[in-house]
């Protein structure tokens, strides 16, 4: 009896990973070449598990060497192979690998038709789901007669590989691999959180097949449902505890602080786990979260957490990719629930990264929609390289456009007024910029509709400052800038200042005087119609106080509050003095009218037409 040893070489390239499957195949032959081993399964088991480092074993016909030219078959490429002759005895590959796999059956069916000798077999998998690890699990399934232990930690790899290799045929007495994995996934609702996350992370490596086979949807649904259930339970417990023990918590500061920390933890406990996902894969999860009406505020907090954690470890091109993915995901949410300050922080990060224009527009639209929450400091963003402006005026113009894009029916008047006061402050801040062109100042002043402003005093101060700094302006440029003013909405003080301002065009001065005269006529008409002077005085005073309060809200710096209050108080006293003077004039005119009525006989109905005043 002769012992003959044969080395069988099969090179497998899985997604660019060179995996060499090399195993010692020992055969026992009689002197006449008759194989002594009677059990094929015995030989297979002995061969498959004789080398623990092997990922699997392909056993071909051993009686004669043969080869095939390069073949291609849906993700495979076969190069020439050679197996040495070793006497008689053979084991067909169809019985091991091709039996459960329709794809391999088709492939090697074409291979058997060739008879050209060669030296080596190489199989190239260009897009094998799960890589070498998944391929190893598949070969173990084949060599174990269709039996393998399914767990949440390997189900995604096996499920995707089964669909990729078309493992839809039964192996021995067991179900095919597709059926086994489908049945196992039916129990996904009973998995623990760690098992769900392990499965979800594996879906990243099998994204294409996981998406087409609905595996990804099942995993994502289970993860999101688990998060939603925990959030609902947290909301219920927090509301119950606040109702039942609100008094105790209000008296115990430490308990209250601890309760807030616990509540925060209960809503963010899943942040670190999902932060392990790749940006492209995370988008599937966030889309499903948004479709299931999960709290958009919590989702946005997670995305900012994700951006910070991923950016810290990102290098090179990964940084703009992470930022782009986060912006696209935030764009899916309710913008009003996304933190405005964090969006501005994201904008500063994006300024240093080369993002696509479409992505940058999305971020600016989100920020612009909440422009009424901004402060002056938020808008004072330095200009980009290549522009001479001190601040990025074009960015602010785009933000205003995004804010106004909601239309009058969607943006309330209160929000418009807040933005108008903010813009008056911004225009005054950028007006001294020596490189700011008149057209940009005019665009800033006219970016909002006229009804958004109650007063144009802020615009006038900015224009006055701009004309002082830009002393070389032509008359045409000054007239263009002054066209942004609504003279009817200037205060008496602003009109008086404008009337004496020699730097302004004479046409603007004339319009201011005419506007002031029109206002005085209106006031005199109201007084002549018999309105109680005390009521009129109180109305004017209250109006000015309300105006001062609103203007104070729009200022970001607290240093100017005292000065503004003093100025406003002076305005109030001045207005009260003018109202008293007008009241004296009204009484004098009424006494004159009374004397006229007494000196002439009245009409029988007791009515008399009044003379036209100030016409």
pLDDT tens-digit readout, 473-496 = 999 999 999 999 999 999 888 988
Is 517 inside a domain boundary? Answer: no
- Does the pLDDT value for residue 342 go beyond 90? yes
Is 285 inside a domain boundary? Answer: no
Task: Indicate the pLDDT class of residue 576, thresholds 50, 70 and 90.
Answer: low
Say how far residue 320 (Cα) sits from the centre of its chain.
14
Task: List Cβ neighbours of 264 (8 Å cut-off, separation of 6 or more).
Answer: none
Domain containing 88 equals: 2-183
Gap between the Cα atoms of 17 and 9, Å rounded: 17
What is the tens place of the pLDDT at every residue in 179-210? 899 999 999 999 999 999 999 998 887 777 66
Residue 22's pLDDT is 35
- Does the pLDDT value for residue 365 go beyond 60? yes
Gap between the Cα atoms of 404 and 419, Å rounded: 10
Task: Indicate the pLDDT class of residue 585, thresholds 50, 70 and 90.
Answer: low
Is 508 inside a domain boundary? Answer: no
Residue 358's pLDDT is 93
Is 50 inside a domain boundary? Answer: yes
- Does the pLDDT value for residue 442 go beyond 50? yes
Q: For the chain, give the percent of residues with pLDDT over 70.
A: 58
- Does the pLDDT value for residue 132 go beyond 70? yes
DSSP state of 82: -
- Does the pLDDT value for residue 516 go beyond 60? yes
**How many domains does the chain divide into?**
1
Residue 580's pLDDT is 66
- Does the pLDDT value for residue 448 go beyond 80? yes
Dmax over CA atoms of the chain, in Å, equals: 156
Q: For the chain, give the percent of residues with pLDDT over 90.
A: 35
Is 431 inside a domain boundary? Answer: no
Strands 121-125, 17-29: parallel, antiparallel or unpaired by DSSP?
unpaired
Instruction: Count CA atoms within 13 Å of residue 54 on its CB side.
Output: 21
Residue 480's pLDDT is 94
DSSP lists the bridge partners of residue 17 as 14
Task: Indicate the pLDDT class of residue 300, thresholds 50, 70 and 90.
Answer: very high
Task: Indicate the pLDDT class of residue 391, thresholds 50, 70 and 90.
Answer: very high
Residue 29's pLDDT is 33
Is 38 inside a domain boundary? Answer: yes
Angle at 171 between CA 165 and CA 172, to 5 degrees: 170
Task: Indicate the pLDDT class of residue 279, thresholds 50, 70 and 90.
Answer: very high
Residue 366's pLDDT is 96
89 or 580, which is more confident? 580
Q: Is the pTM of this model over 0.95?
A: no
What is the tens place of the pLDDT at every residue in 588-602? 655 655 554 455 444
Is 173 inside a domain boundary? Answer: yes
Is 62 inside a domain boundary? Answer: yes
- Asked if residue 123 lies in contact with residue 177, where contact means CB atoms within 8 angstroms, the answer is no
Residue 293's pLDDT is 85
């Amino acid at each position: 009896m002769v012992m003959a040893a044969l080395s069988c070489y099969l090179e497998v390239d899985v997604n660019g990973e060179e995996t060499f499957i090399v195993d010692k195949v020992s055969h026992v032959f009689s002197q006449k070449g008759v194989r002594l081993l009677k059990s094929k399964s015995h030989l297979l088991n002995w061969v498959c598990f004789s080398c623990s480092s092997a990922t699997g074993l392909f056993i071909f016909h051993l009686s004669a060497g043969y080869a095939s030219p390069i073949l291609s078959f849906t993700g495979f490429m076969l190069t020439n192979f050679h197996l040495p002759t070793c006497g008689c005895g053979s084991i067909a590959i169809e019985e091991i690998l091709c039996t459960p796999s329709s794809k391999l059956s088709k492939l090697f069916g074409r291979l058997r038709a060739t008879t050209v000798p060669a030296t080596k077999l190489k199989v190239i998998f260009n897009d094998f789901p799960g890589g070498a690890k998944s391929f190893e699990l598949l070969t173990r399934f084949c060599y174990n007669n269709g039996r393998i232990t399914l767990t949440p930690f390997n189900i995604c790899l096996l499920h995707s590989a089964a669909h990729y290799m078309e493992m839809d045929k039964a192996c021995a007495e067991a179900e095919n691999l597709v059926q086994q994995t489908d049945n196992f996934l039916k129990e996904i609702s009973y998995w623990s959180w760690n098992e769900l996350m392990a499965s979800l992370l594996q879906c990243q490596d099998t994204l294409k097949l996981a998406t087409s086979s609905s595996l990804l949807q099942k995993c994502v649904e289970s993860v999101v449902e688990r998060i939603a259930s925990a959030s609902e339970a947290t909301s219920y417990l927090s509301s119950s505890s606040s109702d039942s023990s609100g008094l105790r918590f209000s008296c115990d500061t430490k308990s209250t602080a601890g309760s807030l920390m616990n509540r925060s933890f209960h809503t963010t406990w899943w942040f670190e786990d999902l932060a392990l996902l790749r940006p492209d894969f995370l988008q599937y999860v966030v889309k499903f979260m948004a479709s299931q009406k999960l709290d958009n505020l919590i989702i946005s907090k997670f995305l900012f957490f994700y951006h910070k954690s991923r950016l810290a470890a990102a290098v090179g091109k990964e940084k703009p990719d992470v930022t782009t993915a986060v912006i696209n995901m935030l764009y899916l949410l309710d913008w009003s629930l996304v933190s405005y300050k964090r969006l501005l922080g994201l904008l500063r990060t994006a300024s240093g990264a080369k993002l696509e224009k479409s992505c940058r527009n999305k971020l600016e639209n989100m920020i612009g929609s909440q422009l009424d929450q901004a402060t002056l400091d938020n808008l004072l963003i330095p200009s980009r390289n290549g522009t001479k402006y001190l601040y990025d005026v074009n960015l602010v113009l785009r933000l205003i456009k995004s804010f106004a894009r909601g239309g009058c029916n969607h943006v309330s008047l209160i929000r418009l007024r807040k933005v108008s006061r903010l813009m008056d402050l911004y225009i005054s801040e950028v007006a001294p910029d020596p490189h700011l062109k008149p057209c940009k100042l005019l665009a800033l002043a006219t970016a909002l509709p006229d009804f958004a402003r109650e007063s144009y005093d802020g615009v006038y101060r900015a224009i006055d400052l701009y004309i002082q700094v830009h002393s070389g302006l032509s008359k045409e440029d000054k007239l263009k800038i002054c066209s942004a003013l609504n003279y009817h909405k200037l205060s008496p003080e602003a009109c008086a200042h404008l009337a004496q301002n020699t730097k302004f065009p004479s046409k603007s001065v004339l319009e201011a005087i005419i506007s002031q005269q029109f206002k005085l006529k209106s006031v005199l008409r109201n007084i002549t119609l018999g309105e109680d002077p005390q009521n009129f005085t109180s109305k004017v005073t209250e109006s000015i106080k309300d105006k001062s309060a609103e203007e104070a809200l729009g200022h970001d710096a607290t240093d100017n509050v005292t000065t503004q209050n003093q100025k406003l108080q002076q305005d109030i006293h001045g207005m009260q003095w003018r109202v008293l003077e007008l009241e004296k004039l009204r009484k004098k005119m009424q006494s004159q009218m009374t004397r006229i009525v007494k000196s002439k006989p009245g009409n029988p109905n007791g009515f008399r037409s009044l003379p036209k005043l100030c016409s």
